[in-house]
Amino acid sequence: MDIPQDIPDDIAGQLIAAAREAREFAHAPYSGFRVGAALLAKDGAIFTGCNVENSSYSLTCCAERNAVFAAVGEGRRDFIAIAIVADGEAVPPCGACRQVLSEFAPDISVILLDRHEQHRILTLTNLLPEPFSARYLKD
Ligand code: THU
């Protein structure tokens, strides 16, 4: 599961810094669990998101999905990497976010930061080996 991808340290560092900044904007009064994400598009642009919770709990949206939606809303659909910064240990994206990421970038690199400021890089291919995809809608 732990397959390192070819993301240079300085790029990973930039994404982690952007995710950390986005985490400051998290609206997480119910869980108290703040998450930030930063998504790197193929053209070098970085899009960020934080988790946005709601008093009607199930309407909550994760940081990762908010980053994807922000990017797609600005015309980007090709993504290389996403960094996720949360509290404590390295937090992998939830199942819903894996599926949303796979719509645009099935083999995206996923950079996770742990409480010791160490990052590791996984791939979505490993995190979500058999995603549902548009090809199943064709028949
Ligand atoms: N959350 C994220 O933003 N990303 C994840 O990968 C896991 C969970 C958020 C959703 C909710 O606001 C809080 O963390 C607790 O589940």
Instruction: Specify the higher pLDDT residue, 139 or 125.
Output: 125
- Nearest protein Cα to ligand 1, atom 4: 62
Distance separating alpha carbons of residues 106 and 130, to the nearest angstrom: 10
Q: Does residue 4 surpass a pLDDT of 60?
A: no
State the chain's mean pLDDT as an integer.
95
Q: Does residue 135 surpass a pLDDT of 70?
A: yes
**Tell me: the pLDDT tens digits for 79-107?**
999 999 998 899 999 999 999 999 999 99
Distance separating alpha carbons of residues 33 and 96, to the nearest angstrom: 17
How far apart are the CA of 44 and the centre of ligand 1, in A? 26
| DSSP H stretches of helix in 1-139 | 9-23, 63-72, 95-104, 124-127
117 tagged catalytic: no
Domains of the chain, residue spans = 9-137
Superfamily of structural domain 9-137: Cytidine Deaminase, domain 2 (3.40.140.10)
Which one of the listed residues 21, 53, 64, 74 is annotated catalytic? 64
* Alpha-carbon Rg for the chain in angstroms: 14
**Tell me: the pLDDT tens digits for 28-62?**
999 999 999 999 999 999 999 999 999 999 999 99
Distances in Å between the Cα of 50 and the Cα atoms of 1, 6, 35, 80 are 25, 25, 6, 19
